[in-house]
Structure 1
């Protein structure tokens, strides 16, 4: 099926620079996957971490991107040893979170959900509560700095449990404990193969009983069984990646499409897909951006959202991910607005808050851009 725009194209094709000015929403971004290379080097010096492959910011950034592009999720995950290695103090966590908020705001992100695994930052004596408090301070500081610089962002955090460990209930309780001070949900992350989401059923049951939100990494490195378990056994509200849902969709030579029962369920129930195109290419979940399932899934009107996953490892931003989709799928401004509204509808915020951001920030922002491009909103 040849790429074509979802909606009518505007007269002016979106460019990377113009996309940066558009309001955007990010649902899947890892705190420890988005550090500035220069910050990693400074933090390593401060804490005595000596394992960095380079102390030159440009070389270090290139090393992360190159190493993460191995085609294997397991190899991709090894790069986090260095970022986590320098994030073991409250001061480091606060700085990284503040810079994250500033960087996202500078890219035009108006709402972001940033996730991290608190258990990974306790190697030097911090307890889980201290980790969460330090990160929340950082996001607050970063949002304040961004506002002073003329850009506004709201950041909600997701607390991840590592699926290969046995602390999911502990992290779920932590997420509920801090849900009134910026933590908006829970997730499980880490290697999918051999660690199905059903290993954490007690945590998901606790979250449901607590009326708490959660997403699950599923359908990235493992196939349909991971997605099915995440939704039907665990009750996931969103799917982290979910790219392998394409395995349940058949495209005939004449271009006709047949959805399997799981794919139909995901689409019919509007289960949001937190898709991360560049990351998926790096880990081998997709061969290229051009052949990424996001094109077909968006055309079939799945609840597709566009995300970064790990900005450092993929050398990307939300704007660059959207620009790549414009390049390879021919999308226009109306399509980018559709992705953005999808994401805001799917956020773990209250309905009134989501609606206010859509009606007061996102739609007016795109209306201005569409008007400037010669097309009415």
Structure 2
């Protein structure tokens, strides 16, 4: 009787623990941004890379000497940091600015209401003003509760002082008392004589390039429309490819920027830039014969065009929007663009009917055909998708608790 009561009591306790786990994990935000947030952060990082470029050295671990002819400049490192466990992740960018001789850390947050990024903190140090014999170090730190940005000043190996910063509810704070930081990872250290990236910035800072690609792919992966690229008929695919061969020279074109048909037609006349179309990677039907097509060229994997299938167009498709060497559109951006185009008076009348699609991919192995080689896409690896994270946690926790309970009951019985 006593064992049965104990077992029932532990069963109730396990149920409560599992229920609390469900409530806890339902509020956890993904470690990386997705959809529109990823696209917005990618635009922010792109602006930094355009303004400062990326810092790079010939070999990993190399330092840069500072002189009048050699002033460090460029983005050193960027990452997504979850300062708040229950808030959206933040974009953190570390850089050197030769114009102001500063080493800086910039923190950005995503505003869900405006769907824009806001810079909430700039931590900068003028390394020319650091006394001789001293050096400064920017690091990312963490403990079980929070994530931090730390700035420490050393004289030799001796710590002179340390500053700790974090973000709480979207606002940046400096700690009055040092938190208990369990681990730190140095990002860059510097003095009035040298600048040293603690992260690998060799191969033209390949780490920044990989992180940028992850943001772009995360935005692209949010698209909920069906990819019909492999179901296009050969005739339709060829017709779209002929259009894309002509639009590769457009860097940034949008019919929404024009108010008259004459302005629109004149803007279509551009000189070829030498880029060559390679292949269609994805194609999506947004409705009303508007198609979002991602394609690659000999210069860039990240390009897209929005086309309106129309009998009024000379080549069968009206060019609506083209971006080359760009950030792919997220699902939310596509839906907003489609809504805007529905009100645009410059769009041609759509063709009757729609594209004829095969039921399966024309590259299906069962047809004896092999899929042509495509430019490799970089995807963020996820051990658990957001839709399966909660069930997995509950199942794993339940099994673990059940096993511990059986063991406890067994040991209790053995002692008696």
Q: Which has the higher contact order (CA 8 A, sep 6+)?
A: 1
TM-score range, shorter chain: under 0.3
Structure (1 or 2) with the greater helix fraction: 1
TM-score normalised by length of structure 1: 0.25
Structure (1 or 2) with the greater strand fraction: 2
Larger radius of gyration: 2
